Amino acid sequence: MDSILVTGNGPLNGQIPIAGAKNACLTLMPATLLSEEPLTLTNAPRLSDIKTMTLLLQSLGAEVSSLQDGQVLAMSSHDLTSHVADYDIVRKMRASNLVLGPMLARLGQAVVSLPGGCAIGARPMDLHIQGLEALGAEIELKDGYLHAKAPKGLKGAEIALAFASVGATENVMMAATLAKGTTVIKNAAREPEIVDLADCLRKMGAQIEGDGTPEITIQGVDRLHGATHQVVTDRIELGTYMLAPAICGGEVELLGGRIALVGAFCEKLEAAGIQVTETDKGLMVSRKNGRVRAVDVVTEPFPGFPTDLQAQMMALMCTAEGTSVLEEKIFENRFMHAPELTRMGAQIEVHGGHATVTGVEKLKGAPVMATDLRASVSLILAGLAAEGETKVSRVYHLDRGYEHVVRKLSGVGAKIERIREE
């Protein structure tokens, strides 16, 4: 099992290219199921989760080819051979449930295993089910599988989500593109990945308005056609690498970044004393004078502070001047990185959904263990600013969401290497 060895060695300087968004690409890929014509995605990230979604689509009969070193995905669903998303694939990744809406809309039936792929708390399917049932689907849970059918086809409806769920918004939005009549999703998620999906679906012939707002309106069409679409920049990878110079000092330009993708996050960085400016190529992040200031953080749905940047922000707060409180309002069990950071000398107290971090002058390298995707990279960031060596084990989590971490960080001066272990 591989590990990553990090040695703190001072400020970082240079440029880091930011990949296409994992969460956007994993949503865009199932959209191929909505049409018989080809869908091509450019700027695709090269991650294990993308490979998992590829296997899932191929198991349904879709053709998926990875081109240009994995950055282009050419897909075609002209001859689907199955409507069953099997547990052996779905269990590896939460986003697998996004084949449910497209298959229901196109085939009138779908059997999808309840998903897995995450250790950060329950993320139930109830909102997905309620939304699709409102469109006329009949859904039954049997032996760990959702058996869904729409014998009379899907019909437009007004759907008010109890929570602004990204996945439920995406599943319902894709299904509604081929439903008869008009669908209105109220309390819809507003994330950039939702807007990116809507942009792609419009290129395929869908009629969608209001994406990026709490109310999305979809006018169903008879069929969708092929398209080519560029995956939006990964705002979580962007925010993660913005924290590297924030933690270590220095000045790093994040290529492809935009403040609009990480507005609430940028506000917290600037409050902590980090300078963020837009450039012709992306975002420049610099920290030049002394320790950062402690700031409080509350995770919220977009446009609030992203839950997927909470662990990384905690790593920054570990050496900040003062005491900060991080409140996690999206997922339970998302402070599992805290005990590992304390092994490095951090002072963190966790009480339910709150973590209180009292900054220390310096962290010290230690052997630590990654517990999930974002926790793994938070430990790497902490290691960059620590005295001595930090060995992060169980980094297979990392490969689900970050491509070429060692190459990108070493390119700006970090002392980091991946250790292959038998």
Residue keyed to tokens 């940047």: 309
Query: Choosing from 118, 200, 248, 266, which is the catalytic residue?
Result: 118
Q: Which helix (H) or strand (E) holds 282?
A: strand 282-287
Q: Which residues contact 39 (CB under 8 A, 6 or more apart)?
A: 28, 31, 32, 75, 76, 200, 204, 226, 227, 228, 229
Contacts of 235 (CB under 8 A, 6+ apart): 21, 192, 261, 262, 306
Please give the pLDDT value at position 296.
Answer: 98
pLDDT at 422: 65
Question: What fold does the segment set 22-230 form as a domain?
Answer: UDP-n-acetylglucosamine1-carboxyvinyl-transferase; Chain (3.65.10)
For residue range 162-194, what is the model confidence (pLDDT) as tens digits?
999 999 999 999 999 999 999 999 999 999 999
Same fold, 3-19+233-419 and 22-230: yes
d(CA 134, CA 30): 21
The CA–CA distances, whole Å, from 157 to 133, 216, 417 equal 10, 12, 53
Three-class DSSP labels, 209-273: ECCCCCEEEEECCCCCCCEEEECCECHHHHHHHHHHHHHHCEEEEEECCCHHHCHHHHHHHHHCC
Strand order in the sheet with 158-160: 158-160, 182-186, 215-219, 207-209
Q: Tell the residue number behind the tokens 């769920």, with chain if given.
A: 165
118 is catalytic: yes
Q: Which two tokens stand for residue 122?
A: 């329950």
Of 245, 282, 280, the closest CA to residue 260 belongs to: 282
pTM: 0.91
Tell me: is residue 235 an annotated ligand-binding position: no
Q: In this structure, how many other beta carbons lie within 10 angstroms of the beta carbon of residue 417?
A: 12
Task: Name the β-bridge partners of 180.
Answer: 155
The token duo for 93 is 């990744």
For residue 317, give the 3-state DSSP assignment. helix
Q: Is 203 annotated as a binding residue?
A: no
Residue 222 annotated in ligand binding: no
Was 280 annotated as part of a binding site? no
Side chain identity at 313, as an amino acid letter? M
CATH level 2 (architecture), domain 3-19+233-419: Alpha-beta prism (3.65)
Tokens of 94: 């939460």
Instruction: Region of 68 please: left (phi>0), alpha (psi -120 to 50) or beta.
Output: left
Neighbours of 256 (CB within 10 A): 19
Which pLDDT value is given to residue 120? 35
Question: CA angle, 241 as apex, 237 and 242 as ends, to 5°?
Answer: 115
* Tokens describing residue 42: 């450019």
Round to whole Å and give the CA distance between 62 and 325.
47
The CA distance from 326 to 338, in Å, is 11
CA-CA distance, 200 to 94, in Å (whole number)?
Answer: 21
pLDDT by residue (tens digit) across 120-143?
344 568 899 999 999 999 999 888
pLDDT at residue number 124: 67
Report, in angstroms and rounded to the nearest whole number, the Rg of the chain calculated over CA atoms: 22
The Cβ of residue 204 has, within 10 Å, a number of other Cβ atoms equal to 20
Please identify every stretch of the chain with a pLDDT value under 50, giving residue numbers as ranges.
117-122
Q: φ and ψ at 267, to 5 degrees?
A: -60, -40
**Residue 56 half-sphere exposure, CB side, CA atoms within 13 Å?**
34
Give domain limits for the chain. 3-19+233-419, 22-230
One-letter amino acid for residue 76 of the chain = S
Return the SS3 of 286. Answer: strand
330 marked as binding residue: yes
Is there a binding annotation on residue 173?
A: no
Q: Is 171 annotated as a binding residue?
A: no
Cα separation, 304 vs 309, whole angstroms: 11
User: For residue 309, what pLDDT is reported?
Assistant: 96
